[in-house]
Every structure is written in structure tokens, then in C-alpha cells.
């Protein structure tokens, strides 16, 4: 290969190493020779030689990936831009985390990004193996780096919006799983509602899914607790489930009788039949930060932990759409009526 291109073996290596120094002319000759010879660099052999795989593990709950696929796409794009690939590990529940960490360590990956909580024992395993760990969209464990949306500020923004619409009797659907994210969001909500003199008159705990939203509405109806005029759910899927329950099972006009709001700004929250105000996460910015921070920590595993917070953005249908049972007006741009949430 080097002889065909008329260069040294080290030049060939540099040509196929992201970020390595090699002149444009020399790289062009090497790539041309590689094409003619059908040459492909042996990534596994390079990983053994350099002790770098250029692959990081990403731990996500399966439900997050199913309902919020934008997260995986944004992270994949951000890491690809710095020459690093992602190996995905999906969880159904917290009980699978220890086993997943064993798998991560067996692959000898360069680092781990997790959107799930990591138990102390698994944290110690990663530290002993000197595998950099980055928490994504959740507060990190002590001594660990993290990048996250500011969930408390997002909760404040949603509550301010609800108060501004004149609502003071509020129902809430909290989350009983992945409690750090849900708890921070609801802490912001409660703080602002209390400041505005509003009362939480109905509560339910769900599992961040559509069925939990439906179940909340049915439970409240059975108890006679559907006396609220606004409903705040800890994420969009629960909010959409509750919206459908109120509209199609109880016959409530949404949002005329009950304003339903959520968090995350997922694509489904902008569909005509589902339209709800929501705080969207700046996932592109968060993902770029995650890639930058991980590369830094791979280069220096002893680097001090850093937490970066990003403000969410309150996205809402236009006033005309909010007064329509159909939700979003198809003649409007999905971004019409959006403003800064923080």
C-alpha cells in the first residue's frame, strides 16, 4: 500500500487517522492507491496497537429511544464529527444496568455516556478500569461529568406559562422511574406554582409512557378528582396520553376546558391531534457538548468533573390553534408561537 502510493508506512497510518497531520497531496495519493488496491484499514488491529477503539458506549432506556429517537441521532452525528462511533446499549429497566456495565467493560470501549442511573458498584468498576463516564441529560454521580437540560428552569417555564393562561387549579403526573429528571422538573413546577398562588389538586405517578397518562385520567375520574383546569405531566408521552384520555374518554374539550402541557418537545407533541405546549430540549447543543467533553476525558481520564446545563425552550401552538379541538393548524409552521423558555 505504502509502495503503491510512493509514501512511508507511517504516512499511510496518518492518512487514515482522524486529526493526524498529513499533506493534502500525500493524502490524496494514499486514498487513490487505497481505492485501486481495495485497501481498508484494520480498525481492530489499530485498537489493539493504540489501546483506543474510537468507540464509546451509549446507555439508553429503550422507551427513550422509541419515543425520543432524536437523542440517538444527535449524539451519533456529534460523535461522528470527532471521529468516534457509538455502540448502543438499550435497557428495559434499572435492573439491567449492572449486567450492561459488564458488557461495556468486556468491549474495552474508550468511554461511556449514560442517560440512565449508574449504581455505586458499577461506578467503581468503571473507575477501576479508568473508563471515562459522562451522564447525559441527568445530574451526574459525584465526581462524574454531565451535560443536561436545566430541568428545574424548564419546570419554572412551564408553570409560568400555565399561570399566564389564568390557571390556578392544577393536576400533575409525576414520574416514579428515572426520578432525578422528573423530580427536578416538578421541583421547578411546584416552586413557580406556589409563587403564583396556584394549588395542585390532583396527583399521579406514571412511567414516562402514554399508558400512564391514560391511567392517570381514569384514576382521577374514578376518584372524582378531575377538578383541575390545567394538567402538567413530567414528559410529553404522559401528557399526550392524558390529553387523549380527557378528550376521548371523558369528553373534555382540550385545551378549552383543560390545558395539557409536557416536557421534551418530542415530534409527536407537534402533531395536529396531539399539539401541546412543551419545553423542548436543545439536544443538538447538548450532544455537541457531550462529544467535546468525552473526547477531553478520553485524552485525560483524570480531568476534573464538569457539569454543563442548557436552557430548554418553551414551544407552544399559536393562540388560534390552542382554541381549536384539532390542535395544530396544518397551515401554520410547527415553530409558530415559540418563545424562549428561560
In a shared domain, residues 183 and 318: yes
For residue 163, the domain's CATH number is 3.40.50.2300
Spell out the residues 6+ positions from residue 44 whose beta carbon is closer than 8 angstroms to its own: none
Calpha distance 252→238 (Å, rounded) = 17
Give this prediction's pTM.
0.77
In a shared domain, residues 168 and 269: yes
In a shared domain, residues 274 and 253: yes
In a shared domain, residues 97 and 159: no
In a shared domain, residues 228 and 246: yes
Number of domains in the chain: 3
Calpha distance 23→181 (Å, rounded) = 48
In a domain? residue 81: yes
In a domain? residue 329: no
Calpha distance 286→74 (Å, rounded) = 9
Mean pLDDT of all residues belonging to the chain: 85
Calpha distance 38→160 (Å, rounded) = 61
Calpha distance 37→80 (Å, rounded) = 26
In a shared domain, residues 21 and 60: no
Which residues sit opposite 86 in a β-bridge? 56
Share of the chain above pLDDT 90, in %: 59
In a domain? residue 77: yes
In a shared domain, residues 186 and 297: no
Q: What is the pLDDT of residues 28-85, one digit of tens each?
A: 777 777 777 666 665 544 554 445 678 999 999 988 888 788 999 999 999 999 989 9
The string over 103-133, giving b where at least 16 C-beta atoms fall within 10 Å of a residue's C-beta and e elsewhere, is ebbeeebbbbbbbbbbeeebbebbeeeebbb
Tell me what the mean pLDDT of segment 140-164 comes to. Answer: 94
Q: What is the pLDDT of residues 171-187, one digit of tens each?
A: 999 988 657 889 999 99
Are 159 and 165 in contact by the 8 Å Cβ rule? The answer is: no
In a shared domain, residues 66 and 118: yes
In a domain? residue 43: no
In a domain? residue 143: no
In a shared domain, residues 68 and 108: yes
Residue 324 has pLDDT above 60, yes or no: no
In a shared domain, residues 31 and 75: no
DSSP code for 267: G
Its sign, for the CA torsion 192, 196, 197, 199, is: negative
Domain that holds residue 26: 2-37
In a domain? residue 200: yes
What pLDDT score does 75 carry?
96
Calpha distance 252→210 (Å, rounded) = 18
Q: What is the pLDDT of residues 256-285, one digit of tens each?
A: 899 999 999 998 898 888 889 999 999 999
In a domain? residue 330: no
In a shared domain, residues 109 and 249: no
In a domain? residue 104: yes
H helix intervals, the chain: 2-5, 9-15, 24-37, 43-50, 62-67, 70-80, 97-106, 120-128, 151-164, 179-195, 210-223, 236-244, 283-299, 319-322
In a shared domain, residues 62 and 116: yes
Query: Which of 149, 98, 145 lies closest to 298, judged by CA?
Result: 145
Residue 5 has pLDDT above 60, yes or no: yes
Amino acid at each position: 500500500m505504502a509502495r503503491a502510493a510512493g509514501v512511508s508506512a507511517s504516512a499511510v497510518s496518518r492518512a487514515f487517522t482522524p486529526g493526524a497531520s498529513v499533506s493534502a497531496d500525500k493524502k490524496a495519493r494514499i486514498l487513490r492507491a487505497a481505492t485501486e488496491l481495495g485497501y481498508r484499514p484494520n480498525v481492530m488491529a489499530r485498537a489493539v496497537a493504540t489501546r483506543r477503539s474510537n468507540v464509546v458506549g451509549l446507555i439508553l432506556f429503550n422507551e427513550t429511544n422509541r419515543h425520543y429517537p432524536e437523542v440517538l441521532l444527535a449524539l451519533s452525528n456529534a460523535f461522528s464529527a470527532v471521529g468516534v462511533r457509538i455502540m448502543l446499549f438499550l435497557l428495559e429497566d434499572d435492573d439491567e444496568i449492572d449486567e450492561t456495565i459488564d458488557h461495556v467493560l468486556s468491549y474495552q470501549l474508550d468511554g461511556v455516556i449514560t442517560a440512565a442511573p449508574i449504581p455505586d458498584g458499577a461506578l467503581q468498576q468503571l473507575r477501576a478500569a479508568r473508563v471515562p463516564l459522562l451522564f447525559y441529560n441527568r445530574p451526574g454521580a459525584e465526581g462524574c461529568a454531565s451535560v443536561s437540560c436545566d430541568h428545574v428552569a424548564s419546570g419554572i417555564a412551564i408553570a409560568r406559562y400555565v399561570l399566564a393562561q389564568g390557571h390556578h387549579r392544577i393536576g400533575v403526573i409525576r414520574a416514579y422511574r428515572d426520578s432525578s429528571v422528573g423530580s427536578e422538573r416538578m421541583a421547578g413546577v411546584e416552586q413557580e406554582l406556589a409563587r403564583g398562588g396556584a394549588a395542585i389538586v390532583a396527583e399521579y405517578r406514571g412511567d414516562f409512557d402514554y399508558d400512564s397518562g391514560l391511567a392517570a385520567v381514569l384514576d382521577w375520574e374514578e376518584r372524582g378528582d378531575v377538578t383541575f383546569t390545567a394538567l402538567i405531566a413530567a414528559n410529553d408521552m404522559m401528557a399526550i396520553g392524558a390529553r387523549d384520555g380527557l378528550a376521548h374518554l371523558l369528553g373534555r374539550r382540550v385545551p378549552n376546558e383543560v390545558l395539557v402541557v409536557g416536557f421534551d418537545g418530542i415530534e409527536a407533541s407537534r402533531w395536529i391531534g396531539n399539539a401541546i405546549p412543551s419545553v423542548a430540549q436543545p439536544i443538538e447543543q447538548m450532544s455537541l457538548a457531550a462529544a467535546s467533553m468525552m473526547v477531553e476525558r478520553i485524552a485525560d481520564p483524570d480531568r476534573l468533573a464538569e457539569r454543563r446545563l442548557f436552557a430548554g425552550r418553551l414551544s407552544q401552538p399559536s393562540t388560534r390553534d390552542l382554541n381549536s379541538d384539532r390542535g395544530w393548524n396544518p397551515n401554520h409552521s410547527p415553530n409558530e408561537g415559540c418563545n424562549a423558555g428561560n
